[in-house]
Structure 1
C-alpha cells in the first residue's frame, strides 16, 4: 500500500458577525507566526520543545492565543523554515503576509456532513459549508483528515483540507497498457498507446488566450499605477486558476480513458527553464510559462488513484528518432510545419505524434528491462 494525500477545498458560509471573528483570529494567528519567525531567524532554533519554553507564555499573553493555537503557530513556522532550508539551503526569514489559520483535526476543527466547527479567539463556532463532492471523504475507514488551513480570498472563506488515504501500489507485472505522452504547445498532449491509437489535445485556443493575457499585462505594466499593479496580480491569479483547471481536465481524461495498471511515459522536462537561450525572445514567455509541471503532478496523483503509474525519461531525440527504423537525425523533423520525415525509410507523421510513439517504445523497454531508459531505443 502507498499513502496518498489530496487537498479538498470547501467554501465556508459565514454571517457578518462570524466573518469578523474569523478575520480577527486569522490576523492574530498571522501576526504570531511573524513574531515566532523573527525569533527563529535570530536563534536558528527549530525545535518545538525549546520554542514552546521560550515563547509559549508570550503567545498566550501578547496575542491572546489558546493553548492549541500557540502549538499550531510553532508547527506552521517550523514547517515553513524547513521547506526553505530544503529548497534554498540557507536561512531566509519567511514573512506571513496574508491572514491564515492552520487547524489541527479534532482539536482546532472538526467536520461533519453539514457542519464545520472551528476554535477561535472567542470560543468555538459552528458554520455551514458547501459540501458538494465531500461526502465520500467521511468514510473514515478509508480517508483521514490532516491539518487544514483556513484562508480568506476576496471576502470568501475557504478551508483547505489534506485528505489522506491508501492506494495499492502498481507493480510492473500488473501493467497491461502503456501510453506515451508528448507534452507541447501546439498540442497540449499527443498520445500513443498499446492499441496503437493516437490522441491529441489541441493547444491553439490555450495559446491564444495566454497571448491575450500577456498583451493585457504589458498594457497594464506601461501605466505603472497602483491600480494597474493590482490588476496585473489579479490577472495572473486568474490565468493560473484557468490553466490549472485545463490541466485537471486533461489529466483526468488521460486516466479515465486508460484501464487500471497503465504505465504513462512522460519526457523529463525539469530543465526546460534553462533552455530559454535556444528559444526566440518573443516566444520565451509561452515556452517558459507553459505549465508542464502542473500537468505532470496532476497526472501522477490521478494515475496512482487508478492503480497506474508514471515514469519520466530522457527527452533527447524523442522527436528526431524514427519509431519505425530507428534512424535518428535532426533534419528528420521540420518544426515549422510540425512534420517528421525519416531520411532513411521515408516514414512521415506529425512530429508530436512521433514523440509520443518514441515515449511509448521507451515504456515498453522499461517493462522489459525494469530500468528507465536514458535515450530512445528501438527494436
Structure 2
C-alpha cells in the first residue's frame, strides 16, 4: 500500500476592501470566542470535546458563529490543550516547578486575534479555474475572493487537497493553508547511496561531488542581524514599522535556499538511481561543541528543515532515504577506515594519519555517510529468520 505524502500548500488571498474587512472581523470574532472557550475549559479542568461542547456551543451560536464555525472553535481549543499536555509530558516546557511550565499550567491558553481558523468544505469552497474561493464569514458567505499561487501549487490543490484549510492573517495579508495528500511514488531498489553531509561552512556536501556553500546564506543572515540591531537601537516609529515589514524575510530566504538544495540532491539521486543517506540530526545542538562565534550560526540554521525537505521530495520521487549515526564520520578516513581526531587538519582539510590520503573534510564525511547508508539499507533488507537446517 502506497502511503500519501502530506504537502502543505499556502495560497495568498487577494480580497477586495469589503471582503478583507469581513475576513479580519471573522478572525477576531472566532479567536475572541476561542479565548472564552479556553477559559471555560480551564475552569472545568479541560473536559473532553463532547462535554466542552455542551457548556459552550449555545453561547457560541449566540455570538453569531455558524454551526460549523462553532464546532471548529471548540475543537481548536481542545486540540491546543492536547498539544500543551503532550509538550508538558515530553518535558518541552521544562521540569515541574520551572517558571515556563508554571506559566503554561496556571492560566488558560490564549489565542491571538489573527490566529488560524480551520474551515471545512461546508464553509469553504474552491473554484480552481477562476482562482477564487467562497468562504463563510460572520457577515455572511462571501464569494469570488481571489487567490494567487504558482501553477504547480494550483495543480496540487486541484488533484490532492483533502480535509480542512486554515485561514491566517499575517501583517494584514490573508492566506489559506491547505493540506494535500500526494501519493508517494513507488520506491525503487537503489544501485548505491549518496551520502549528504550537512554543515555550516557548506550547507550540504554530497559524496557525488555536489556542494552547496553556506557563505552566501551566512553573509545574508549576518547582514539581516546587523540591520535588526540598528533598527531596534533606533527605536523610532518608522524603525519599528521597518522591522515589522522585514519580519520573516530571513526565514523565507533560508527556506527557499533549502528547497533549492533539497531539489538538487533528490534530482541527482533519482537520475543515478541512488538512495540518499542522511545523518541523524537529533540532539545535534547538545553534542556539537563550537566556538562562541559559531554557536549563533548553528542555532539559527534550519538544518532540520533541509532534512525534512529532502525526505518529502525523495518520497514523492520514490528515492529511498535512510538515516545513519554520524559518529566519527568527520574523523574516519574513507579509504582505509582509520579514525583519529588529528585526521581533521582544519575545517576544510582532511589528512589521514594512517594512509596519507588528503581530501576535503566534508566530502570525506559524505562518503562515510554513503557507506553507512548502504550498510543500513542492506541490514534492513536481510531476513532475521534463522535458516532452516
TM-score by length of 2: 0.86
Distance in 2, matches of 1:273 and 1:225, equals 36
Q: Does 1:351 align with 2:351?
A: no
User: How far is the alpha carbon of 1:43 from its aligned partner?
Assistant: 2.3
Classify 1:233/1:16 alpha carbon distance in 2 versus 1 (closer, same or farther; 3 Å).
closer
Classify 1:324/1:46 alpha carbon distance in 2 versus 1 (closer, same or farther; 3 Å).
farther
User: How far is the alpha carbon of 1:232 from its aligned partner?
Assistant: 4.8
Q: Does 1:178 align with 2:179?
A: no
Select 1:339's aligned residue among 337, 349, 360.
349
Distance in 2, matches of 1:268 and 1:287, equals 16
Classify 1:10/1:236 alpha carbon distance in 2 versus 1 (closer, same or farther; 3 Å).
closer
User: How far is the alpha carbon of 1:100 from its aligned partner?
Assistant: 3.9
Q: Does 1:301 align with 2:316?
A: no
Conservation of the 8 A alpha-carbon contact between 1:29 and 1:101: no
Distance in 2, matches of 1:279 and 1:233, equals 32
Distance in 1, matches of 2:37 and 2:200, equals 44
Where does residue 117 of structure 1 map in the other structure?
Answer: 134
Distance in 1, matches of 2:177 and 2:111, equals 17
Conservation of the 8 A alpha-carbon contact between 2:26 and 2:138: yes
User: How far is the alpha carbon of 1:248 from its aligned partner?
Assistant: 0.9
User: How far is the alpha carbon of 1:363 from its aligned partner?
Assistant: 0.9
Q: Within 5 Å, give how 1:300-339 maps onto structure 2.
A: 300-336=311-347, 338-339=348-349
Distance in 1, matches of 2:290 and 2:237, equals 33
Classify 1:109/1:295 alpha carbon distance in 2 versus 1 (closer, same or farther; 3 Å).
same
Where does residue 280 of structure 2 map in the other structure?
Answer: 268
Conservation of the 8 A alpha-carbon contact between 2:194 and 2:276: yes
User: How far is the alpha carbon of 1:223 from its aligned partner?
Assistant: 4.1
Distance in 2, matches of 1:71 and 1:39, equals 15
Q: Within 5 Å, give how 1:24-35 maps onto structure 2.
A: 24-35=25-36
User: How far is the alpha carbon of 1:227 from its aligned partner?
Assistant: 6.1
Distance in 1, matches of 2:49 and 2:4, equals 26
Aligned residue for 1:279, secondary structure, equals coil
Show CA shifts across 1:273-331 (max 9, x none): 2247x322222111211110110111111111011232222221111000110000000
Conservation of the 8 A alpha-carbon contact between 1:102 and 1:147: no
Where does residue 118 of structure 2 map in the other structure?
Answer: 103
Count residues with an aligned counterpart: 361
Show CA shifts across 1:211-250 (max 9, x none): 1122223334444567656655654511111101111111
Show CA shifts across 1:190-219 (max 9, x none): 001xxxx31111111111111112222333
Distance in 2, matches of 1:312 and 1:44, equals 41
Where does residue 94 of structure 2 map in the other structure?
Answer: none
Distance in 1, matches of 2:54 and 2:180, equals 32
Distance in 1, matches of 2:47 and 2:310, equals 35
Where does residue 295 of structure 2 map in the other structure?
Answer: 284
Q: Does 1:76 align with 2:95?
A: no
Aligned residue for 2:175, secondary structure, equals strand
Distance in 2, matches of 1:104 and 1:20, equals 18
Alignment RMSD: 2.3
Conservation of the 8 A alpha-carbon contact between 1:100 and 1:149: no
Classify 1:162/1:138 alpha carbon distance in 2 versus 1 (closer, same or farther; 3 Å).
closer
Q: Within 5 Å, give how 1:40-189 maps onto structure 2.
A: 40-61=41-62, 63-89=63-89, 92=105, 93-113=108-128, 114=130, 115-126=132-143, 127-133=145-151, 134-137=153-156, 140=159, 143-168=160-185, 170=187, 174-189=189-204
User: How far is the alpha carbon of 1:87 from its aligned partner?
Assistant: 2.4
User: How far is the alpha carbon of 1:371 from its aligned partner?
Assistant: 8.0
Distance in 2, matches of 1:177 and 1:105, equals 44
User: How far is the alpha carbon of 1:169 from its aligned partner?
Assistant: 5.4
User: How far is the alpha carbon of 1:154 from its aligned partner?
Assistant: 2.8
Distance in 1, matches of 2:149 and 2:251, equals 24
Q: Within 5 Å, give how 1:174-253 maps onto structure 2.
A: 174-192=189-207, 197-223=208-234, 231-232=242-243, 235-253=246-264
User: How far is the alpha carbon of 1:254 from its aligned partner?
Assistant: 1.3
Distance in 1, matches of 2:322 and 2:109, equals 34
Classify 1:211/1:275 alpha carbon distance in 2 versus 1 (closer, same or farther; 3 Å).
farther
